[in-house]
Amino acid sequence: PDQNAAAVSKRVNHHLKEVFAKIKSRNSLSIHQTEAVDPLLWNHKGPNFQAARESVGRVLKQNVECVRQGTCYPVLSDLQTVFDKDILLLPVGYYEVGQGKEGNIKTYIDGIKIVLSYMYELSKIK
């Protein structure tokens, strides 16, 4: 939690170069980092996430894991930093549906149910 991406990248690169120098290889080492983002910290036991867990569990009939997945992670990190609030993404579609592919109607209906159930759960918070 007390780490930032730039500092970790710098330390990892330094360590890799140090270890590579020790083995005295005739090969060369080139390090290219595609992206680095700060960790996302949130209160996963708070009422917002509890409402989401209840909603997703009720609609999809499965235990919920509070795990962020997907390609929007860097944007979420920036939003969390700017607003200094927990960021919650509700799963309103399946991850197997790729760009340019159509999802089925049940996916969209379940997504609507999750959002409505989430709003209902939020309304019960005192």
Residue-wise pLDDT tens digits, 34-43: 877 776 677 7
Q: What is the average per-residue pLDDT within 52-56?
A: 90
- Residue span of the structural domain in which 21 resides: 1-36
Q: How many other CB atoms are there within 10 angstroms of residue 118's CB atom? A: 22
Q: Is 26 in the same domain as 60?
A: no
Specify the higher pLDDT residue, 124 or 68.
124
Q: Cα separation of 116 and 126, whole Å? A: 18
Q: Is 63 in the same domain as 17?
A: no
Q: Is 49 in the same domain as 31?
A: no
| 102 pLDDT above the threshold of 80 | no
Percentage of residues of the chain with pLDDT beyond 90: 33
Q: Cα separation of 94 and 84, whole Å? A: 28
